[in-house]
Structure 1
Amino acid sequence: MAELKVVVEALSCLFILMSLIPLVRNDYWAFRVFEYPRFQKLLICITLFFCILFFIVISPETSLYIVAGLLFANICYLFYQVYPFTGLSNKELKRAGENFPEQCIALMTGNVFQYNKQSQAYLTNIYRADPDVVLLLETDSWWERETAELEKCYPYHVKVPQENTYGMLLYSKYELLDFEVKFLVENEIPSIHTKAVLPCGQKIQLYCVHPTPPVPQENPRSTERDKELLLIADKAKDNELPVIVMGDLNDVAWSYTTSLFCKVSGLLDPRKGRGFFNTFHAQHIFLRFPLDHVFCSTDFKLVDITKLDAAGSDHFPMYVKLQYEKVASHEQKEPEADEDEKKLAEEKKLKKTA
C-alpha cells in the first residue's frame, strides 16, 4: 500500500506539471503538445484526487494534504479551460430561429488521411450529409481522381492536390469568385482564399487552412502554424464581407493560439456552449481532440453542427450549417484582443520560420 501511495503521489505531481507546462509561451513542441489533452488530464486528475483522499482516510499525512490541495487547484484550472466548450457554458454563436434556406451554407471539412483508400465510403459520407461546400484535406492526386465525380453535384471547385499530406480539394455548389491559392508561411503548405455567393446573392469570404502541427516528425515548433493562423486572422478582421474560416488547424479549440486567433479575427466558435466535437484521433477514443474547425463572423447564426463518420480516416469530418442574417452582427458579441494580446500576435507574425 505504501508503494501504491508513492506512485499516486508521483503521478499527481507529474500531471500537475503537465498542466502547467503550456503556460510557458515557448513554440517548441514539447511545450505546445501538452495543450491538447486538457480534458484527459482533467479526468485523470479527478481520479488521482479521489485516490489521494482514500489514502488520507487510511493514514493522514501532511504530504497527502498538500498533494490533494494542489490536485484540487489543478482540477479547477483545467475545468476552467474546457468549461466554455461544455453544454454548461453560454453559446457564443446563437442558434438561428426562423429558417431562410437561401441564406444558408452547409460546410463540411474533412481530413481524409492521405493513405486512406476508402474513397467510396468517404463519398457516401458526403452524399449523405449533402453539404453546400466540401473541403477535403490531405488529398493527393489519387484522391483528386477518386473524388472527381463530385463535380457533377459541385460544379465549382479549387484543387490543390499535393503528395506531402497537405493537399486541398474544395468543392462547392455555390459560385466561387476571386479564388486564390496562397502559401502564406511555408512554400509547400497551401491555403485557399475565395468568395462564395449564397443563393440569396450575398457574397461571403472563405479561408481554407491546414497548417503544420508542432510535432517532432512534422515541425518541432508551432511558429509556422501560429503565424499562418494569425495572418488569416488579420485577413478575416479586415474583410468587409461575412467571413468563414475552415479546416484542420492542428490546434485544439482551447489553446491560447486558437483563443488568440479568435480574438484577433473577431470570429466565433460554434463549439462553445455545445460540446468538444473531438475530431482526432478517430481510432483512439481516449486520445481525441478538437482539431478540425469552422469559425465564422458575427454575421451568421448556427443551424446545425455535428461530426460525420470517419470513413477510414484518422479524423472525423465536421459538418456545420450556418445562416447569414443581416441583424446577427448586432445580436452577438465579437471577440476582441486586448493590447497585450495584440502585441503578442504581432510578435508571432514577425517570428522567423525555419
Structure 2
Amino acid sequence: MDYLRSTFVILTVIMTILTLLPFWRNQAWWVRVWDFPRLQMATLSLLFFLTEMALMPFGGPAAQIVIVLSMACAIYHALWILPYTRLYPKQVRASRLNNLPTLKIVTANVLMTNQQSDKLLALVEQHQPDILVTLETDLWWQAQLNVLENDYQHTLKCPQDNLYGMHVYSRLPMQDPLIQCVVAEGIPSMHFRVTLDSGDEVVLHCLHPMPPSPTEDDESTNRDGELVAVGHTAARASFPTVVTGDLNDVAWSRTTRLFMKISGLLDPRRGRGMFNTFHATFPFLRWPLDHVFHSKDFTLRDLQRLPEIGSDHFPILVELALNPRVGKGQRGLEIEPGDQFEAREKMNNAGVKSRHVHTAEN
C-alpha cells in the first residue's frame, strides 16, 4: 500500500510540473507540446485525485497537499477545454434560414504516405463541398485527385514530398490566388478569393505550419509568427474571411487564442464540441489540430468530423451561411492588455510582418 501511495505521489508531482511548464514562455517544442493534451491531463489528474482520496483520505499535511495538487491540475486543464464542450455558450449562431448564400469546405490532411485516395474521393462525392483543401499531398496524390477537376475547375497546386504539399480544388471561381511561403521555405500557404453563387466574395487563407516537435521544428516560433501574421491580415480584410488548415496547434492553446483575438475570427466548435481530428488511430491521443475559423459575417449551417480516410487525421467539414446582419451580433474573444505586444513579439521572432501575407483583395 505504501508503494502504491508513493507511486501516485510521484505521478502527481510530475503532472504538476507538466501543468506549470507552459506558463514558461519558452518556444521550445518540449515546452509547447504540453499545450496539446489538456483533455488527457485533466482525465489523468481526476483519476489521480479519486485514487488518492481512496488511498489516503485522512493522511497528514503532505498527503493533503498531494490531493489538492491533483484536484487543482484537473480543474485547471478542464477550464482550458471547457469552451469546447456543450456546457459552454456557442460562439457561432446556428443558421436558421435556407435562402442564404452558403460556403461548404472540407479540409483534409491526407497523410502523404497514405494511398487510400478512394476514401477521400468518396467523401467528396457524398458531401459535395464547394472547396476541398488537402494537406500533405504530393505528385501521387495530385494524380489521384485529378479526377475532381471536371467539377472543381479552379485549382491551386503545390505538390511536395516533404509532408507540406497543399492543394485546393474549388467549384467556385477564384480571384487573386497566390501560393507563398510566409516564414519558411518549403512550407506553403494559399491565399485567394472566391465568388459564391450569389455573387458575394469571400477570402480564404489555407495554412499548414510546422509543429513544434523533435522531428520537425525545434520551436513553435515560425508557427506562431505565421498564425499571428495571418490574424492581422484577416482583421484588416474588406471581405468575409475564412482561415482553414492543419494549424498544428490545438484550439485552446495560448497562440490560437491570441490568433482569434488579433483576427476577430470565430471558432464554430466553441460550445459544440472539440471535433478532435488527430490522431485518427489512437482514440486516447486526440485533439483538434484541423481548423476552420471565420469572420462574423457567417453563421453555421453544418459542422462535422468526417470518417477516417486512412490518414492520421480525420477530415473536417464546415458549411457556413453568409448572414452579416445576424452575424454581427456574435462575439469573438476580447483583446486584453499585452496581446498586441505579444503578437508583435511573435512576428518579430519569426521574422515576418503581416504585410507579407497576401490579402487576396486585388
TM-score, with normalisation over the residues of structure 1? 0.97
Q: Which amino acid aligns with 1:74?
A: C
2:34 aligned with 1:17: no
Asked if 1 retains the 8 angstrom alpha-carbon contact of 2:241 and 2:295, the reply is: yes
Q: Could you say which residue in structure 1 is the equivalent of 2:294?
A: 296
Tell me what 1:265 maps to. 263
CA shift digits 1:45-86 (9 cap, x unpaired) = 0000011101123x5222111111122122221111111000
The match for 1:213 is: 211
> Could you tell me how far apart the structure 2 residues matched to 1:149 and 1:159 are?
14
Shift of 1:41: 0.3
Partner of 1:7: 7
Separation in 2, partners of 1:223, 1:291: 17
Counterpart of 1:26 in structure 2 is 26
Report the Cα distance in structure 1 between the residues aligned to 2:262 and 2:141, rounded to whole angstroms: 34
| Overall identity of the aligned pairs, in % | 38
Letter in 2 for 1:37: P
Could you say if the C-alpha distance between residues 107 and 352 of structure 1 is closer, same or farther in structure 2, counting changes exceeding 3 Å? closer
Runs of 4+ in 1 over 4 A off after TM superposition: none
Q: Deviations over 1:20-66 (max 9, x none)?
A: 11111111001000110000000000000011101123x52221111
Q: Which moved more, 1:332-341 or 1:286-295?
A: 332-341
Inter-partner Cα distance in structure 2 for 1:15 and 1:274: 28
Which residue number corresponds to residue 284 of structure 1? 282
CA distance, structure 1, for counterparts of residue 172 and residue 52 of structure 2: 58
Taking the aligned partners of 1:336 and 1:196, their CA distance within structure 2 comes to 29
Match of 2:355 in 1: none
**Offset of 1:13 from its aligned partner?**
1.2
Give deviations 1:103-141, integer Å, cap 9, x for gaps: 101111000000001111221122112211100000001
TM-fit CA distance, 1:274: 0.4
Structure 1 alignment gaps of length 5 or more: none
Aligned counterparts of 2:226 and 2:63: Cα–Cα separation in 1: 45
Deviation at 1:326, TM superposition (A): 2.6
Contact kept in structure 1, 2:243 and 2:292, CA below 8 Å: yes
Further displaced range: 155-164 or 243-252: 155-164
Question: In the aligned structure 1, how far is the partner of 2:295 from the partner of 2:125?
Answer: 27
Write the distance in 2 (CA, Å) between the matches of 1:122 and 1:240.
Answer: 33
Q: Could you tell me which residue of structure 1 aligns to residue 47 of structure 2?
A: 47
Counterpart code for 2:251: A
* Residues 71 and 121 of structure 1, relative CA distance in 2, 3 Å threshold: same
Equivalence for 1:152: 150
Between stretches 327-336 and 119-128, larger displacement belongs to: 327-336
What is aligned with 2:245? 247
Structure 1 CA distance for aligned equivalents of residues 93 and 177 of structure 2: 29
Q: Is the 8 A contact 1:237 1:266 kept in 2?
A: yes
For normalisation by structure 2, the TM-score amounts to 0.95
**Equivalent residue for 1:311?**
309
Could you tell me which of 324, 327, 330 is aligned with 1:326? 324
Q: Tell me, what secondary structure is at the counterpart of 1:113?
A: coil
Amino acid at match of 1:330: K
User: 1:144-223 maps to which residues of 2 (within 5 A)?
Assistant: 144-223=142-221
Cα deviation, 1:126-179, whole Å, max 9, x if unaligned, reads: 211221110000000110001000111111111111111101110111111110
- The equivalent residue for 1:60 is 59
- 1:142 counterpart residue number: 140
The AA in structure 2 aligned to 1:236 is A
1:85 pairs with 2:84: yes
Separation in 2 of the partners of 1:156 and 1:5?
A: 62
Alignment check: 8 A CA contact 1:137 1:169 kept: yes
2: CA distance, partners of 1:341 / 1:278: 27
Aligned equivalents of 1:100, 1:295: Cα separation in 2: 23
User: Alpha-carbon deviation of 1:100?
Assistant: 2.2
Match of 2:115 in 1: 117
User: Matches of residues 335-354 of structure 1 in structure 2 within 5 Å?
Assistant: 335-352=333-350
The whole-number CA distance in structure 2 between the counterparts of 1:312 and 1:330 is 39
